[in-house]
């Protein structure tokens, strides 16, 4: 099987549950600050996964983001399975011509999303799953894409565009990963101590149900990647 390319933007925002769900080789790269990164040919990968990060999807101070957007656009054109998470979804949206809204509305913590359309990958989460949010930017729905999930604060929480799935929320997070985030100053900047305590308590309550559902959802993406081989 060809590897799945995983693009990361922060050391604490790795693939989490996505890795085991793919059940195949991963090629993890960080090209955030590389002006002309040497990314693999799409012919050499089974899929592309783009993770989250604290920067804006159009931040020119991180020149590698432009290369990621070009790769995402090319991947959709080539029908390569793509999964974009949080910043990854925003990069995917920009790659497909949508508009980014900086500081649109902060959502941090566990809260439900309304799933509004069927999707083979998103489906196992259910119709109104409680998921982990950690963002303040938002992106419009790309032209021709299907809206899959929404919240009042963030109308586009998930979308499907051909071979690509964008998720504004974080299905990849495990209990240990959440604890890492809650003890990473870059993640908790701006949060009061009682908010950190609340997110930790909500994680203990919701992750035992969310993780098995997320594993099934991400396994569906893994099946798409393995089918490409």
Known catalytic residue: 170? yes
Look up the pTM and report it. 0.97
Q: 99-115: per-residue pLDDT in tens?
A: 999 999 899 999 999 99
**Which among 13, 68, 107, 172 is annotated as catalytic?**
172
pLDDT value for 161 = 98
Known catalytic residue: 86? yes
Contact assessment for residue 90 and residue 134, using Cβ atoms and an 8 Å cutoff: no
pLDDT value for 229 = 79
- CA angle at residue 168 from 205 to 140, to 5 degrees? 145
**Helix (H) or strand (E) run with residue 33 in it:** none
Segments of the chain scoring below 50 in pLDDT: none
Q: How far apart are CA 74 and CA 59, in angstroms?
A: 20
Reduce the DSSP state of residue 221 to 3 states and report it. Answer: helix
Boundaries of every domain in the chain: 4-228
Fold entry, domain 4-228: Rossmann fold (3.40.50)
C-alpha distances (whole Å) from 122 to each of 1, 29, 35, 115, 159 are 24, 25, 34, 8, 10
pLDDT value for 108 = 97
pLDDT value for 144 = 98
**Which among 9, 62, 133, 170 is annotated as catalytic?**
170
pLDDT value for 138 = 96
**Which among 13, 86, 133, 135 is annotated as catalytic?**
86
């Amino acid at each position: 099987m060809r590897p799945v390319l995983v693009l990361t933007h922060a050391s604490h925002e790795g693939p989490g549950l996505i890795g085991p769900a793919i059940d195949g080789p991963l090629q993890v790269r960080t090209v955030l600050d590389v002006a002309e990164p040497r990314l693999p040919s799409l012919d050499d990968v089974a899929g592309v996964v783009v993770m989250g990060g604290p920067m804006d999807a159009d931040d020119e101070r991180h020149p590698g983001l432009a290369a990621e957007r070009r790769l995402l656009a090319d991947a959709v054109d080539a029908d390569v399975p793509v999964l974009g998470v949080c910043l990854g979804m925003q990069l995917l949206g920009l790659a497909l011509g949508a508009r980014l809204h900086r500081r649109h509305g902060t959502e941090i913590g566990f809260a439900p999303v309304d799933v509004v359309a069927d999707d083979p990958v998103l489906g196992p989460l259910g119709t109104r799953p409680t998921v982990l949010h950690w963002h303040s930017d938002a992106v419009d729905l790309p032209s021709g894409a299907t809206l899959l999930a929404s919240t009042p604060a963030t109308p586009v929480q998930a979308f499907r565009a051909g071979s690509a799935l964008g998720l504004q929320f974080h299905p990849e997070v495990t209990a240990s990963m959440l604890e890492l985030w809650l003890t990473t100053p870059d993640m908790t900047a701006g949060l009061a101590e009682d908010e950190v305590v609340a997110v930790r308590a909500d994680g203990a309550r919701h992750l035992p149900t969310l993780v098995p559902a997320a594993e099934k959802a991400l396994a569906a993406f893994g099946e798409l990647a393995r089918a490409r081989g």
